[in-house]
Amino acid sequence: MEFQKSTVYQIYPKSFADANGDGVGDLKGITQKLDYIHQLGADYIWITPFFRSPQRDNGYDIADYRAIEPMYGTMADFEALVQKADALGIGVMLDMVFNHTSTEHEWFQKALAGDETYQNYYIFRDGSPDVPPTNWQSKFGGSAWAYVPHLKKWYLHLFDTTQADLNWENPVVREELKDVLRFWKAKGVKGFRFDVINLISKPDVLEDDLTGDGRRFYTDGPRIHKYLKELHRDAGLGDVLTVGEMSSTSLENCIRYTDPQEEELNMTFSFHHLKVDYRDGEKWKLQPVDYRKLKDLLETWQTGMAEHGGWNALFWCNHDQPRTVARFGDTRQHWRAAAKMLATLMYLMRGTPYIYQGEELGMKNAGFTAIDQYRDVESLNYYRILTQEQGLSSEEALHILAERSRDNGRTPMQWTAEPGAGFSTATPWIGLSVDSAGICAETQVNDPDSIFTYFQQLIALRKAEPVVGNGTIEFLFSQREDIFAYRRTGQGQELVVLCNLTGQSISGDFVPLVQDMQRQLGNYPDVKELAQNQLRPYESVVYLREVSPAQLE
Ligand code: TEU
């Protein structure tokens, strides 16, 4: 299936479905739920890492790229999963964490034992114990360097201390990683998501960052395009779907990463639109969503990528983000309308949708109120930093965590209305969302007005109407902060999407825009208000018409 028409469903295995009753989701659980994903209409599933790992960062700390972490199951379970997915026409995408390995990986263990060949797999620097080689900061807080006393050396870790950065300048490392890709391709894997792949190329000389945390030296680094081309060529990435997770990237680079002629990746995740509620650009400082900025960023990326042959992954959330409806919509009176509107806004743009487990049900944030409810290493680190280093009270820090913690997206998937939400028969590894009542797959799959059913219709529309996959995009009402609207054109069709971003009714010249068009979707059951040039709170509507080439002029 062409990636332009495809939809990807993201699974965080730990929190998806627990088949063996130990409180942790597993591969068998995923296999059991493939019919549900098929019913939704997704073409691919991206499963976040389930490889052997000490789980400091829930699998993003990989100790063996070719082995399955026992709590998730066995290789036979994985093969059964791929077989069933194949039968349903669903491609399996794996998450390749190639910027770093766990410090428990055999390579790092050999490096620690003094083997220089393996020390050269990582970024080690000599130095005295009290002065790190540079002042770079870890993304999870604190210095990006850790000292190994018996070696008298520091190693670089852009994330947790147990996630040591690999040395991509070493060609042997690159060969090792290509082999990992070949291994999984041979198992029938149809795509790869590359974790923070734009951070892999570090400069030859590492120096202090006098104006920032170091990211400007290694983000979209010096040899990044060369390395991606090499991976594409040598691991045969041309016949699978590829998406790169790009941390703090630029539009120019994302165009290059995804321009088909460059032969690097099919598409990229960029995160600028998910920082519009960061005060001073800082994740741990709250501010209300700046919708003006959100609109500008989405428009810039849509238009910029389209003009230069790039391709966006379309997404509102993932396992690192708060829940979409809580962050950008409304969790109370207009919960259902807001969840549907946000899906409409994002997933009919030009790009490939990535729906994160539970988003199709309108799942809400965790609602945790005590630090011992949190599991995420980043959240726990920042709680300490906020309270011990920045002087916030525990209440203030917990308030920030409740908005920002990655655990908001990691609470168990809500399958049924039973206690435990049908995720597990045991106590789950992380608590359910406190707002889970009344939100579950079991009731939504058979309800024609549910968020699930709406997602189903939206995905079906993408597949049925060629303009969604291949049309151009033009934004309407660019100057207005209360409405997000656009027109897609191409393939002999025209599609208009109007979304009210607010909890109030808004008015405008909406009717002329959709004259002679057929209504395809709406998150309110009737069309009454639009006829009066109004959109109700969080209302969204989608109209389509067939056009002859002459009419398009
Ligand atoms: O995330 C990369 C990343 O930088 C973030 O989304 C990060 O969680 C956030 O910016 C911190 O504020 C990827 C994975 O998606 C994430 O789960 C891993 O923890 C991280 O890489 C390290 O592998």
Q: Which of 14, 48, 55, 60 to mutate to test the pocket of ligand 1 (most atoms within 8 A of CB)?
A: 60
> How many CA atoms lie within 13 Å of 453's alpha carbon, on the beta-carbon side?
14
Burial of 443 (0-12, 13-18, 19+ CB in 10 A): middle
Alpha helix stretches (DSSP H) within 69-144 = 75-88, 106-112, 116-119
Taking alpha carbons only, the member of 359, 401, 10 closest to residue 195 is 10
Under a CB-based contact definition with an 8 Å cutoff, are residues 542 and 519 in contact? yes
Angle, CA of 176, 94 and 109, to the nearest 5° = 40
CA of 283, closest atom in ligand 1: 12
What pLDDT does 548 receive? 79
What is the C-alpha separation between 527 and 137, in angstroms, rounded?
53
CA of 378, closest atom in ligand 1: 11
The single-letter code of the amino acid at 375 is: R
For residue 550, pLDDT beyond 80: no
What is the C-alpha separation between 241 and 247, in angstroms, rounded?
20
Angle, CA of 119, 124 and 130, to the nearest 5° = 140
244 CA distance to ligand 1 middle (Å): 13
What pLDDT does 529 receive? 78
Q: What percent of the chain has pLDDT over 70?
A: 99
What pLDDT does 552 receive? 56
Each residue's pLDDT tens digit, 457-508:
999 999 999 999 999 999 999 999 999 999 999 999 999 999 999 999 999 9
pLDDT confidence tier of residue 531, bands split at 50, 70 and 90: confident
Burial of 473 (0-12, 13-18, 19+ CB in 10 A): buried
245 CA distance to ligand 1 middle (Å): 9
Average pLDDT over residues 280-289: 97
Taking alpha carbons only, the member of 241, 227, 235 closest to residue 99 is 227
- Write the CB contacts of 256 (distance below 8 Å, at least 6 apart in sequence): 225, 262, 264
Average pLDDT over residues 356-360: 99
What is the C-alpha separation between 47 and 356, in angstroms, rounded?
10
Average pLDDT over residues 111-137: 97
The single-letter code of the amino acid at 349 is: M
Residue 58 Rama label (left phi>0; alpha psi -120 to 50; beta): left
What is the C-alpha separation between 363 and 339, in angstroms, rounded?
9
pLDDT confidence tier of residue 523, bands split at 50, 70 and 90: very high
Angle, CA of 528, 496 and 503, to the nearest 5° = 55
**Closest residue by CA, ligand 1 atom 4:** 247
98 CA distance to ligand 1 middle (Å): 13
For residue 387, pLDDT beyond 90: yes
Instruction: Name every protein residue with a CB atom under 6 angstroms from any ligand 1 atom.
Output: 57, 60, 97, 139, 159, 195-196, 245, 247, 283, 319-320, 378, 406
140 CA distance to ligand 1 middle (Å): 9
319 CA distance to ligand 1 middle (Å): 9
Average pLDDT over residues 349-370: 98
**Closest residue by CA, ligand 1 atom 1:** 196
CA of 377, closest atom in ligand 1: 19
Each residue's pLDDT tens digit, 142-172:
999 999 999 999 999 999 999 999 999 999 9
Q: Which residues are catalytic?
A: 195, 245
Helices first, then strands: H and E counts in the chain: 19, 24
Each residue's pLDDT tens digit, 230-243:
999 999 999 999 99
What pLDDT does 530 receive? 85
Mean pLDDT of the residues in the chain = 97
> How many CA atoms lie within 13 Å of 287's alpha carbon, on the beta-carbon side?
14
**Closest residue by CA, ligand 1 atom 5:** 320
Q: Which of 101, 105, 320, 378 to mutate to test the pocket of ligand 1 (most atoms within 8 A of CB)?
A: 320
**Closest residue by CA, ligand 1 atom 17:** 320
pLDDT confidence tier of residue 549, bands split at 50, 70 and 90: low
Average pLDDT over residues 167-185: 98
Average pLDDT over residues 386-404: 98
Each residue's pLDDT tens digit, 208-233:
999 999 999 999 999 999 999 999 99
320 CA distance to ligand 1 middle (Å): 6
Each residue's pLDDT tens digit, 423-440:
999 999 999 999 999 999
Residue found by looking up tokens 């900061």 in the block: 137
Each residue's pLDDT tens digit, 437-468:
999 999 999 999 999 999 999 999 999 999 99
For residue 299, pLDDT beyond 70: yes
Burial of 37 (0-12, 13-18, 19+ CB in 10 A): buried
